[in-house]
Structure 1
């Protein structure tokens, strides 16, 4: 048994509340269980409880055993001085405040129906992937859909945190932050962190100034990525190398030595050379990109905005000095969808928050129109009966798996609580 089960029992009063007594046989009446904080300090804040003939307002701490109070050194922590009731599963020792006054204890196991414990153990028995995998498709669709909406916004909140940090670093320059986020996502999982470092190493004011020459943007990005460090016979390579040297001196850019870009295990269309060229092309053709994105009202408008390719050289190259069959290398619809999911919607959400506004309905419509993502997590949920119609739902399932299932937070999950109630 884990403490989260006791939190669940107390929070939702899943026990006999009519005949409660302390370990010292005093009557207990619960007027308010308190606010579940999930922070440092007591578990429930500002509860209202009558013990004997005295009504108390204060905090409630919950443990598996009374002695855990001393194991966790609460007797030395002033934050626990206002605890009015110690709720435990098993009472094994008395607990005292600093002034030697005993803290009342409620031993919960005396008041919990055995079926609740059986249901909890059934739910928390390890399965092949997640605890509730065998029962997922039995949960009411309304419960699942409501929970998915909450999960989606939790995920957006999580994604907005690093954006807010970047805004502090850039003095609220939304265009700069967008450039760094786009660079990261153009690099995908393998090169994303490196592309972010590259974007962060080039003042965006320089990107603005040089955006009228696409080759200059490529030179800055390729040079800082370490892709121009060798000697090659390729004329375009020599041109970029010359431009990078000139621009570095012109703007006094100090070259940072980053980890090498990764080509291994990438399909050629995802090679860092191609993605950096497409990023340079985007900023060549679209100045004031954040202003345009913040005014967008349809997914079609985003596809139009991101309808960019590479410079001609890359139409028959994936790497310098190596010719390949000619192919126009446009940003694909599926790639732009990833950009919308991982960059555009999070930054629009953060922007709305900064303006004190709620995220607009058209932004929600955007993600509802994007096809569901394809990955192992989404496929697994589908095999257990939770199928996704769009990216709104797949994003919520990723949040569910990463933040709840992986962390065994079944009793903080609407699905877990529904199963515990219904079993």
Structure 2
């Protein structure tokens, strides 16, 4: 057999087999009144199935295997959850299966009940060497269907990310300001330096930051010191002053900096160096106290963009990408792409997560509407779908693309994908 068990699940769920004049291996006539509900948890594959076997109506579970003997391979004979199985659907029947009471479980063999072309089509799809499995077919699918599934993917992505927010929120005893501070720092890492930024935020409590917001030099000393960038010897006055301030604050609060080796500089443009990102992070912290409360007040995308622009970045960074490495004029403000990155990955997420947490539907909708107002993300993944003919009109759909690519396309889960199912059904 050249296919996974999930292929048979797909065949059964969508009735892609000859459903008339069916018989069990015992010779009893079988009518499928309802295939049941797919079970994504432990237990039989389909529940609440309704069947007529030998003229008698049954309601219960259906278990699907490539071979009947897989029942024992998977240990179902010792699991009481399988006591209510009313039909065993298999590709090949090689062994009779009995219940605990000695009664035989009826078997339906699918092997000759569906066209070989369907299996060929499936294999061609999942074994393709394209950027994603349906790259050459997706353009033929109605955009309404594609957009509908991408919308579902966006909701799924938001739910997954919100779960991480709630997990961290519980860790900090329900402090939303501190939670926002953590996820804001994480986003400033722009994936490459995401982890060290998280470590930095967790090593530098927001409560300490708040005590020094009236002294910008101390905020910068705390951030760069905790990041591990103030351990060397400096000639420039600015880093020397930072080091002096940090020594005092480190001793005062018992701070332990993260290792400077955690930061990544290689294969990135100087504008994305973590030193410049840290300077921008400092400036945003200085620009507005209680940032979480502030973003809840700002309902307009233009206002949110304004919050992240015109940051009071220290003048030192206008001619440096790193300490003591002078260069030509440096653009110290966040670019449009970086601004949208922070809004998409932090602000929209936190607003929607808080809306669900506090049962405020208007905040959930605001987070989604902001995504619809922003341009689609431009990266290697989104470009591959664009080139295949998928219209990605805004960040709402580009987030859906990232979700489907990671959890469906990359894992070849075409049988769990609304678009893949539509292609296979063509």
**TM-score bracket for the superposition, by shorter chain length:** over 0.9
Deviations 1:184-240 (A, max 9, x none): 111212211001011011121111112222211111111111101112122211211
Conserved? CA contact 1:309–1:328, under 8 Å: no
Would the alpha carbon gap of residues 94 and 223 (structure 1) be closer, same or farther in structure 2, given more than 3 Å must change?
Answer: same
Residue 28 in structure 1 maps to residue 22 in structure 2 = no
Unaligned runs of 5+ in 2: none
- Equivalent position to 1:69, from 71, 79, 85: 71
Distance 2:244 2:312 in 1: 23
Would the alpha carbon gap of residues 128 and 328 (structure 1) be closer, same or farther in structure 2, given more than 3 Å must change?
Answer: closer
- Equivalent position to 1:321, from 319, 324, 327: 324
2:118 alignment counterpart: 116
Residue 257 (structure 1) shift: 4.1
Distance 1:335 1:250 in 2: 35
Distance 2:275 2:124 in 1: 52
Equivalent positions of 1:338-417 (< 5 A) are 338-358=341-361, 360-417=364-421
1:156 alignment counterpart: 158
Conserved? CA contact 1:297–1:363, under 8 Å: no
1:18 alignment counterpart: 20
Conserved? CA contact 2:47–2:62, under 8 Å: yes
Equivalent positions of 1:7-406 (< 5 A) are 7-257=9-259, 259-307=261-309, 308-358=311-361, 360-406=364-410
Residue 309 (structure 1) shift: 4.1
Q: How many pairs align?
A: 422
- The alignment partner of 1:229 has SS state of coil
Would the alpha carbon gap of residues 79 and 392 (structure 1) be closer, same or farther in structure 2, given more than 3 Å must change?
Answer: same
Distance 2:330 2:131 in 1: 42
Conserved? CA contact 2:44–2:63, under 8 Å: yes
Distance 2:331 2:246 in 1: 25
Conserved? CA contact 1:309–1:329, under 8 Å: no
Deviations 1:122-149 (A, max 9, x none): 4344233222222111111111111111
Would the alpha carbon gap of residues 357 and 54 (structure 1) be closer, same or farther in structure 2, given more than 3 Å must change?
Answer: farther
**Structure 1 segments of 4+ aligned residues over 4 angstroms from their partners:** none
Distance 1:189 1:412 in 2: 28
Deviations 1:334-371 (A, max 9, x none): 10100111111111221122123445433323112222
Conserved? CA contact 2:319–2:328, under 8 Å: yes
Residue 385 (structure 1) shift: 1.4
Q: Which segment drifts farther, 107-116 or 30-39?
A: 107-116
**CA RMSD for the aligned pairs?**
1.8
Distance 1:357 1:48 in 2: 40
Distance 1:408 1:351 in 2: 33
Deviations 1:11-45 (A, max 9, x none): 12222333222111112232322211222221112
Distance 1:315 1:60 in 2: 67
Would the alpha carbon gap of residues 258 and 272 (structure 1) be closer, same or farther in structure 2, given more than 3 Å must change?
Answer: closer
TM-score by length of 1: 0.94
Would the alpha carbon gap of residues 311 and 258 (structure 1) be closer, same or farther in structure 2, given more than 3 Å must change?
Answer: closer
Conserved? CA contact 1:127–1:133, under 8 Å: no
Conserved? CA contact 2:67–2:90, under 8 Å: yes
- The alignment partner of 2:86 has SS state of strand
